[in-house]
Chains A and B, each alone.
Chain A
Amino acid sequence: MLRDAMTKTTCAVVMAIGVLALSSSASAQPPTTATATAAPTGTPSVSAQVVVILAREIAGVIDPRLTGLTALREAPFSAFHSMDIWSEHSLTLTQGVPVTVDLPNGRVIQLVLEEVTADGRNHVRVSINRREQSDYLPVLEVAAPPGDPFFVAGQNFMGGMLVIGVSMGRREGVTAAIAPRPRLAAPPGLTPPTIRH
């Protein structure tokens, strides 16, 4: 019985992904613009937080919301004396549905929840590229416990480097590693980031 149920679930997921792929190609939109309606009801989903940090070696301040992230004070991050949260994005990742966030350097980070593993970790597939290109990070797959962030760093930007922190879910009884915002006023001249679900 259990095997039948798993088989049905697998078929449903495969069909959902197939439908998603077909709808994406049919509408000539990049796969990053999938809509939430493509996910069937009951598909696993998890909240996620993406924080884009501009880290620079010049003297400056560390955004107080990052003070809880002692990991960013470890080497090699300790070389950066200035860290500003460029943007924060609260997302909902639904299994098999790509979600994208525009980065300030013109690239796009795409996240796809592959599965919630049996041990409770969130298996996510990440890519960072220019649209329609594969110029930076084609594929990264990470399985992370709820609330534990992982980081992608190295993109040059504005005389510094972008550090992108991604965390999914929240560990029970533990506050978020990245303190929730009070909302930032959009910096002058900055177009608010686009989030596509």
Chain B
Amino acid sequence: MSLPIYFPLGFSALLFGIGLWGALTRTNAVRILMFLEVMLNAVCLNLITFNRYFWSQTPEAASEATIASLFIMTVAAAEAAVGLAIILSLVRNRGTVEADKATMLKG
């Protein structure tokens, strides 16, 4: 590997940072969901990088991060499905997709 490990690690940190920034600043619920996916993806990239550089002696060890990413993607898909269903329900009930207008629990 001629690529230094700092490049993919720094890239995933930047990707996570931009995703965090977007998820905290934008109020559209669908967009917040998209930034959550981007942040999960950055975490996957981090796992794959560390596994590739430090834990790839045998094929079994080298596939550990792949399996972890597989589970992360499963959870991300389930989260996107349920989250979009909740957002659609919110749109039908309240006519808005703005997360800061969903204040039904505020009393």
- Asked if A and B are interacting partners, one says no
Report which B residues bind A (CB closer than 8 A).
Answer: none
Report which A residues bind B (CB closer than 8 A).
Answer: none
